[in-house]
Amino acid sequence: MEILVNFTILFLGLMSVCYAQTTTIDPGSTNETKTITIGFLAPDDTTVYRLVRFNGGAMTVAVRDVNRNPDLLPGYELKFRYMDTHGNEEGSIRALTDLWRNGNVAFIGPGLTCTTEAKVSAALNLPMISYFCKEPAVSDKENYRTFARTVPTTEKVAESVLALLDQFDWKVISVVAARDPQFSRVMTRLEKFLPLHGVRVQHALSYENPYYPMYPIKDNRLKDIIDQSFADTRIYVFIPAEPYELHAFLEDLGEKGLLNDGKYFVVAIFFKIFDETFREGLIRGFDYPAENITQRIQYLHNVIMLFYTSVMSPDYNEFKIEAKEYLSLPPFNFNSTLLEGEGFHIEITEDAAYIYDAVMLYANALNQTLSEGGNITNGADIIDNILGKPYQNSLEKSVTF
């Protein structure tokens, strides 16, 4: 367990994975290279999460690496077509069906939503591997037989939270979460899962985000939640969209005098890898004056934080550099240099690893399927060659899907 400025960092498992081995196949007697086109579904034109602007380049890196590997899909060239899902289910389904009509035989994605999309891909018997969706429903392989994912589910997050609560024998909590779908789904899962294991959830409350905790735009949305819940709550599970929202929550708890004697505690969940860049943002918050840092660190004494496990691969930093470089090329054509020249930091997140591993999972599973005499359009067979197989992930650990 790692200690940082007197607060504890715990880790959730980062389930980014790739195949440990490949299988040799014979594409036939002809020397002609055949093309396999897959679809990349990701949000960009949305206020929720512009994933492509940060991590889309990972898709290009993955497809390039598949094509450079002579033992992976020999006789075939892998290509992809990107379509914006606009961050909602309707846009995602529209993009998926458009890709299908244009001959794409597999789907990497989508971002944010996936339940209906996974059902559509099952009806088409085409594989869909998501790098983002945490919805538990799609784990049902009878109904979603052509779906897999490289991102941990809300079930895994709930299990990690339960393990922490059990460690300290905390049996009564309240959950507070940002209202974005990816956070509210986790709150809903905790609300259902924890009572099954002896933990009572007194309140499950959400707030509109983003929430900037600085005057004059700071308001009472978090104070109102605290007023509503503090009388019968001592342990808060807090799921912020950004670190500065955690600071705002702690500041409002502190102003009410609830952080003075150790009776109140906050478990904060962050769906990202902890690194030094995040550490700096975590300490400084959002545009706070330097004199407030001492008070902020004092508040953090009352916090336990859960993060994804850090990537251990020595090649990860090089991968992030490549993924960022490919952002400026088609089909994304995003020039991050202009924004960084204005002082904005473009961060390649762990979602890029999930995208990369989704492509590798697909390519290796298709490789196996073809070696067994299967075909490119049998999604059920391809996914069967993913499930239950051992992989070497980016943590340099073996993972079974």
Domains of the chain: 2-11+154-308 (3.40.50.2300), 14-151+313-400 (3.40.50.2300)
> Is the separation of the CB atoms in 62 and 360 below 8 Å?
yes
pLDDT of residue 290: 55
- pLDDT by residue for the chain (401 residues), tens only, comes to 333 333 344 434 333 333 334 444 554 545 688 999 999 999 886 554 567 678 999 999 999 999 999 999 999 999 999 999 988 899 999 999 999 999 999 999 998 789 999 999 999 999 999 998 888 789 898 899 999 998 877 788 899 999 999 999 999 999 999 998 889 889 999 999 999 999 999 999 999 988 877 777 778 999 999 999 999 999 999 999 888 899 899 999 999 999 998 899 999 999 887 877 677 777 766 555 555 678 888 899 999 999 887 777 778 889 989 998 998 899 998 877 766 666 666 778 888 989 999 999 999 999 999 999 999 999 999 999 998 776 665 545 445 55
Task: Quickly list DSSP for 207-251.
Answer: E-S----STTT--SHHHHHHHHHGGG-SEEEEE-SSHHHHHHHHH
DSSP 153: P
pLDDT of residue 31: 63
Q: How far is CA 40 from the centre of its chain?
A: 16
pLDDT of residue 111: 80
pLDDT of residue 296: 81
The structure's pTM equals: 0.76
> Is the separation of the CB atoms in 195 and 166 below 8 Å?
no
Q: Where are the beta strands (DSSP E) in 117-171?
A: 128-130, 147-149
Peptide linkage before 110 cis (omega within 30 of 0): yes
pLDDT of residue 50: 63
Q: Where do the H-state alpha helices sit in 230-349?
A: 243-255, 276-284, 293-300, 316-326, 336-341
pLDDT of residue 100: 97
d(CA 11, CA 7): 13
d(CA 323, CA 316): 10
Write out the two tokens for 132: 């983002």
